[in-house]
Amino acid sequence: MNWLLSALLALGLAPPQVQPPIYRAGVYLVPLRIFTVPARELRNEDFRFVVDQTDYLPVETVADPDQRGAYIVYFAPARELRDGRTHDLVVHLRTNGKWNEFGKPFKLTLPAIGADGQTAPPVFREDVYAVPVHIALFDRKGGKDVPWVGLTLDDFVLLLEKKPFAAVAVSENPDRPGHYAIYFQPAMQHRDGKIHDVKLKVRINGKWKTLPTKWPTMLPKTAP
C-alpha cells in the first residue's frame, strides 16, 4: 500500500479562562482569555461562541501585549443565561477562511443575578483542553490519489511522548474528502509550555499504522 500523507497545520486551543466580568454602558460582558497554538493574528470576526445552541459574536477582541497568540475575547450573554446553572459553551475559530469547532463543549456557569442586579464572576466547572491535529490521508491507486473517507473516533489514536490518547472528536472536511481534524486531550503534566512531539495512529482496513510524521506542539501552561 502506497501512502500520500499531507500534514496540515496543527492548531490547538487551550481552555478559555474566564476573567472577572465588566459592565460597560450597562452591558454585562464576559471576557474569555484564549490561547492559540501556534500563535496567529486574529480579529473580532474570527471568533464565535455558541451557548446552548445560541450563537454569540464577540463584542471586542484584544490581543495580549505580553503573550503572542493570547487574546481576551468579550461576549455579552443573554440575561436569562445568568441563572447559576451550567451551560454548554462551544468556541469556534476561523482560520484560513474556514471555521473550526474545538472539541467538546466547555461547561460555563454564569452566577445568578443578585438582588442588586449584579452577578459574581462566571466560572468553568470542567477543564476541557482540546488540541486538534489536522491531516489529509490518501492512498495511491491506479496512478490517482484516493482519499480515505468515513474515518471515525475509533480509527485514530494520538501519541504524545509515546503515551496513547484516545481521540475525543473527529471532523472530516465535507468540502475536502480525506482531510480530518482529530482532537485529543493531553494530560495535565504535558501542559507545561514546552514543545512535545505528537504522532498519529490510524486504523485502515482493520489494521493500525503509526504514521511517520511528527507534530511538534507547544501546549501552553494551564493557569492554576
Q: What is the spatial distance between Cα 198 and Cα 212, in angstroms, rounded to a whole number? A: 11
Q: Identical fold at 3-9+129-218 and 12-124?
A: yes
**The domain 3-9+129-218: what is its CATH number?**
2.60.40
Q: Which three cell numbers stand for residue 191?
A: 501542559
Do 216 and 197 meet the contact criterion of CB atoms below 8 Å apart?
yes
Provide the residue ranges of all domains of the chain, joining segments of one domain with +.
3-9+129-218, 12-124
| Cβ neighbours for 158, distance < 8 A, ≥ 6 positions apart | 133, 164, 165, 166, 167, 182, 184, 198, 199, 200, 201
Q: Which residues pair with 107 in a beta bridge?
A: 88
Look at the domain 12-124 and name its fold: Immunoglobulin-like (2.60.40)
Q: Please list the pLDDT of the chain residue by residue as tens digits (224 residues).
A: 332 222 222 334 455 555 556 676 667 788 888 877 667 788 889 889 898 888 898 888 888 877 777 888 888 888 888 888 888 888 888 877 788 776 667 788 877 775 554 444 444 444 456 677 888 898 878 878 889 899 988 999 999 988 999 887 787 877 788 888 888 888 878 878 788 888 999 998 889 999 988 888 777 776 55
